[in-house]
Structure 1
Amino acid sequence: MTIITIVAAIVIDEHGRVLLVRKRGTTAFMQPGGKIDPGEAAEVCLARELREELGVEVAPGPVFVGRFSAPAANEPDAIVDALLYHAAIVGVPSPAAEIDAITWLSPDSADPPPLAPLTRDIALPMAASLR
């Protein structure tokens, strides 16, 4: 089994909705973020990924909320080892790079789109308590 170390952001807007992204050629929505480059600090990676994928900056002071594992949404036989941060953003996100779509989803949505396991099982329940 492959382990993929990533950093991801729980971004919550003023209405309590969580920012989610969907990569091109996939169906599951997930937190914005990505794979950490060798020697790269998690917060540096988080800022780089949100800038590249959404054209936004991470506001100063993202809060580390924990390290979690879940099945990878887009890579068979892989597990994501995710460093999750509660982060605010500066700017209006729009899809760039490999991101095909974004959405703002209420953590208690009765009819969510397809979600990555990490998002469904960990990040959205956590976001409900962070609002």
Structure 2
Amino acid sequence: MNENDIIQALRKAFSNDHIKRQVLDIGWYEKNIESGIDSTGFCFAASEVLYRLTGASHTWQVNYLQDPDHWNQGTHYFLWRRNEDGEVDKANYNHIKDITADQYTLRNIDIPYEQARARGLPFVSRRARLLARLSGLGEL
């Protein structure tokens, strides 16, 4: 399955209330419903699903930002594509894959990607495993 098909399946899953209730913890579920923005709360699980199904650390670097209080009062996760040398060019915003950015951009909040920090994903998370399966993407 290619990257665009995975993203389409994930975005469709974001709008499914059954999937929301299964994947999001109660606090994120409430923020999701309150905001009316279906991607709210899915950033870590969705980023991990895309990361694991499209090359993992050979293709991506996982990044996060601590949310200021006026965002969602949590941590935001997204992916930065590695170049041919395996490096990440943080000056190249075209290499960012942030499939849940709309939880901020729809509220006119600019995401300060330049402040992001990298992190690893040594284990498959329960929420990513569940999101992949419920989205029809199979097992991670």
Under a length normalisation based on structure 2, what TM-score does the superposition of the two structures give?
A: 0.28
Q: Which has the larger radius of gyration?
A: 2
> Larger helix proportion, structure 1 or 2?
2
Under a length normalisation based on structure 1, what TM-score does the superposition of the two structures give?
A: 0.29
